[in-house]
Amino acid sequence: MTTSTPVGTPEDGVPLGSPDTGHVIEEVTEAARRVVAGVVRTSRDNPHLERIRDTLREIADLLDEHAPDVDTRLAEIWATRPTRTGPVTGAENPVAPPVAFRGRGDGSVGADVTLDLQYQGPPAMVHGGISALILDHALGNANDFAGRSGMTAELTVRYHRTTPLFEPLTVRARHLSTDGRKIRTVGDIRTADGRVCVSAEGLFIAGYPSTPPPVG
C-alpha cells in the first residue's frame, strides 16, 4: 500500500449508510453518547455522582423493562436497519463516534471524525484497537460502495505514529481488487495535515450470513 498518495477527501462525495430518520431514538442515542463521554471526563470528586448513579439506574431499568428478548431484537435489526446499530457508524448506537462515510467519484470512501476521551489508549491518543475497528469498517464501506461486499478474513494494521484525540482525523479506504470470492481493500487514518497515523490492508470473502444465528 502506498500511504503517501491520498485517496480523496470525504467532503465531495455522496453520503453512505442509513440517513437520519428523525426518530426520537436518534436523540436518545445522542444523549446517551454525551453521557458516556461525560462519565469518562468527570472527576471522582464530582459531588453529584450518587445522584447521577441513581438516575442512570432508573433509566437502565426503564430500558430493560421495554426491551425485547435478544433473538427478537437481532431479527428486527437485521431485517430493517443493521447499519444503524453498528459500533462505528451507528446512529442508534451510543458507543459509535459515529463516523459518517461518503463515497467519491474515484471509487474511494472517506469520513471526518474527532474522537473523545472514551476512545483513549496512550495519554491523549486513540487506542490502537479503536483505530483497527474504524479501519475494518471503512474497508467494508469501500467494498459496499464498489458493489463487492463480504466478511473480513484478514486485517493487517500498521501503526505509523500515534493518533491524536480531540483533533480532526480523516478516514479513507478504497477497494483494490476482486479474485473470485476474495476481495482486497486498503485504507488509512490521517491527521488534518495529511500525516498517516494508521493504515490497513484487508482480505474479505464475498457473502454474508442470510440471518443471524440464535443466541444460546
Check if the beta carbon of residue 150 is closer than 8 Å to that of residue 204. Answer: yes
Q: Rounded to an integer, what distance in angstroms lies between the CA atom of residue 33 and that of residue 20?
A: 16
> pLDDT of 132-143, one tens digit each?
999 999 999 999
- Parse the chain into domains and list their residue ranges: 10-206
Q: Rounded to an integer, what distance in angstroms lies between the CA atom of residue 213 and that of residue 39?
A: 34
Cell 472514551, residue located: 118
Cell 453518547, residue located: 33
Which of 158, 100, 171, 86 lies closest to 128, judged by CA? Answer: 158
> pLDDT of 61-91, one tens digit each?
999 999 999 999 988 888 877 788 999 999 9
Say what the pLDDT of residue 21 is. Answer: 79
Q: Rounded to an integer, what distance in angstroms lies between the CA atom of residue 118 and that of residue 168?
A: 16
Return the amino acid letter for 97: P
Report the SS3 class of residue 103. Answer: strand
Q: Rounded to an integer, what distance in angstroms lies between the CA atom of residue 139 and that of residue 179?
A: 17
Q: What CATH architecture does domain 10-206 belong to?
A: Roll (3.10)
Which of 102, 180, 205 lies closest to 145, judged by CA? Answer: 102
Check if the beta carbon of residue 137 is closer than 8 Å to that of residue 17. Answer: no
Say what the pLDDT of residue 212 is. Answer: 62
Say what the pLDDT of residue 10 is. Answer: 46
Phi, psi of 80 (to 5 degrees): -125, -55
pLDDT, mean of residues 9-34: 81
Task: Give residue 13's region: left, alpha or beta (phi > 0; psi -120 to 50).
Answer: beta
pLDDT, mean of residues 154-167: 98
Radius of gyration over every alpha carbon of the chain, rounded to an integer in angstroms: 19
Which three three-digit cell numbers place residue 155?
486485517
The H or E element spanning position 179 is strand 169-179
